[in-house]
Each structure stands twice: as C-alpha cells, then as structure tokens.
C-alpha cells in the first residue's frame, strides 16, 4: 500500500513539474509574440532590436530615427540626466511619441541604457539589415555622426590630459559599439570617411559624368537623403545599368576619369558597388601611368 501511494505521489509531482515547465515556455513564447505584434497592440517593453530590423516595424523605427534627428542625439557622445542633454531629449521624444504605449524606464541610468539601446540598434542595422532596407542609409548616417562625436570627445580628453600632464591611458573611451572599426556609412556607403582627399571637387567631377548617369546620380542620392524609398527603388535599376556601362568604357581622359570615379566611390551605397568602382579607378590610373611613361619605356614593354 505504501509503495502504491509513493508511486502515485511521484506521478503527481512529475505532472506538476511538467506543467510548470510548460507554463514557463508558454510565457516566454508569449513575450516573443507580444514583441512581434503590430504597432497598434499594447506592449509592455520597448521592442527588441531583432524585431525593429523587420519591415513590419518600419514606421516605429522611422519614428525613433525622427526623434534622434530632432534631439540631435547622434552628435552627442555621452548621455546624462540633464534636461539639456540631447539623449535626455531623445528619450522623452521617443516615449512621448512612437513608444507612448510602452512602459517608461525609471531607473537612474535610464538615459544611458536608452543610448546603449539605440547604438545597439544602429550597429545591428549596419551588420544585419539588408542593403535595400529603406531606413538603413539614415540609420548609418546617424551612426556615423555618433562615431565622429565619440572620436572628437576622445581627442578633446586627450588634449586635456596632455595639458594637465595626465596620462592618455587613463582616459575613458566612449563606447562605439561592436562594429566601431568597420567602415562607417553616412547618407551613403562612404567607405573613405576620415581619410578623404579634401581637394577633390566632387561637384565638378560629377558634372563631367555623361547623361543620363549624371542626372540619375543626383536623383538617387536626393531620394536617399529624404527617404523616398519608392522612388529610390525605381531609380536604382536604371542607375546601376548606366553605372556599369560607364565603368566598362575605356574612352575619355584617364586622369579626369579617375577623379570622377573617386567621387562615385565616395557616393557608393554598397560594398560591391564600391569594390567595382575601385577596380575601374585602378584601371584608369594604370592607363594614365602608361600615357605618362617615357617613350623608351613604352617600347621596352612592347
């Protein structure tokens, strides 16, 4: 009799454990489902980064980016609880606006954590979002501004340390995110930020582009700047066709073409586009060097 009761007790406890485990799993799944629901549903927490990268959350993400621009938060390296701090302003704009139905954090470090969340979002957009995501260029522009702000702050702290005789190694570095050393985007791919040749007249170089590539270049980047994703997609097909036609041409003065290609390289919006423009630049430079080489060197090569 005792053994039967013990067996029944074990069976009951097993059922209780399995039920508790099932409840825990269901609760976790419900959290994911709640986070993934549309903007019209009630949410308790700010959406997860993985959800903000999806097309379903574009309007919410656009609202967050609007708040960043309005508060000038990307140009501030540090967050604080002061009302004049851009991250303080961005926090209020987000939770009074697009995230008004989310619970508002109240911890003393809420502004710092909010900034870290946005930086995490920017980095995720850079590393994980597809290149055709309509909000990626704008996100990368903000990330680039933030990285520049961090670099300027570090330089200022370094100069202060030198002026006061302090050690540079004691300076606290601002967090740039996991991809800080990767190529930053601005409104375009901009792979040369920080080491640009300042004397290149980009406007003059772009004016030398043949039509319709010249007009398409301007239309493409204006569409990127104002976030006209529909027009951007329509322009992209024609732009790419004209661009690769131009890259394949061997006509024109090679030095002039090298300047034009440098301007196009700075305006490239994907790594592949930048790579292909760079290859055309290399060819133009080689053509120029061959033209400039002495006649006897040319005959020796033949």
Predicted pLDDT of residue 170: 43
Domain limits of the chain? 49-170, 202-295
Predicted pLDDT of residue 195: 54
3-class DSSP assignment, residue 83:
coil
Categorise residue 227: left if φ over 0, alpha if ψ from -120 to 50, beta otherwise.
left
Tokens of 153: 């702050």
Predicted pLDDT of residue 20: 55
Predicted pLDDT of residue 187: 37
What is the full per-residue pLDDT of the chain (302 aa) written as tens digits? 555 445 555 665 555 556 555 545 444 444 444 444 444 444 567 888 888 988 888 999 999 999 999 999 999 999 988 888 999 999 999 999 999 888 898 888 899 999 999 999 999 988 888 888 889 999 999 998 898 888 888 888 777 777 766 554 444 444 444 433 333 333 344 444 445 677 888 888 889 999 999 999 999 888 887 878 788 888 999 999 999 999 988 777 889 999 999 999 888 888 788 889 999 999 999 999 998 887 655 555 54
C-alpha to C-alpha distance for 241 and 30, rounded to whole angstroms: 47
0.75 exceeded by pTM: no
C-alpha to C-alpha distance for 141 and 66, rounded to whole angstroms: 13
Predicted pLDDT of residue 74: 92
């Amino acid at each position: 009799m005792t053994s039967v009761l013990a067996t029944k007790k074990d069976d009951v406890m097993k059922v209780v454990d399995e039920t508790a485990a099932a409840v825990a799993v269901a609760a976790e799944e419900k959290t994911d489902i709640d986070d993934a629901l549309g903007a019209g549903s009630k949410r308790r927490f700010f959406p997860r980064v993985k959800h903000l990268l999806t097309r379903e959350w574009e309007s919410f993400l656009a609202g967050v980016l609007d708040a960043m621009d309005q508060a000038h938060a990307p140009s501030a390296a540090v967050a604080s609880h002061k009302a004049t701090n851009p991250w303080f302003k961005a926090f209020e704009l987000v939770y009074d606006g697009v995230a008004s139905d989310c619970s508002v954090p109240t911890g003393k470090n809420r502004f710092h954590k909010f900034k870290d969340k946005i930086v995490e979002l920017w980095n995720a957009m850079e590393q994980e979002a597809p290149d055709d995501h309509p909000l990626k260029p704008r996100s990368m522009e903000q990330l680039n501004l933030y990285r520049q702000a961090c670099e300027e702050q570090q330089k200022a702290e370094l100069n202060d340390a030198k002026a006061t005789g302090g050690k540079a190694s004691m300076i606290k570095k601002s967090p740039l995110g996991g991809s800080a050393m990767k190529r930053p985007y601005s409104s375009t791919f901009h792979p040369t930020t920080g080491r640009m040749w300042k004397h290149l007249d980009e406007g003059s170089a772009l004016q030398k582009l043949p039509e319709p590539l010249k007009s398409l270049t301007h239309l493409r980047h204006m569409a990127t700047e104002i976030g006209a994703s529909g027009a951007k997609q329509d322009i992209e097909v024609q732009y790419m066709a004209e661009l690769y036609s131009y890259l394949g041409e061997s006509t024109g003065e090679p030095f002039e073409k090298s300047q034009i290609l440098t301007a196009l390289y700075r305006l490239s919006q994907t790594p592949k586009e930048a790579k292909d423009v760079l290859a055309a630049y290399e060819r133009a430079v080689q053509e120029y060097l061959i033209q400039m080489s002495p006649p006897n060197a040319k005959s020796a090569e033949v």
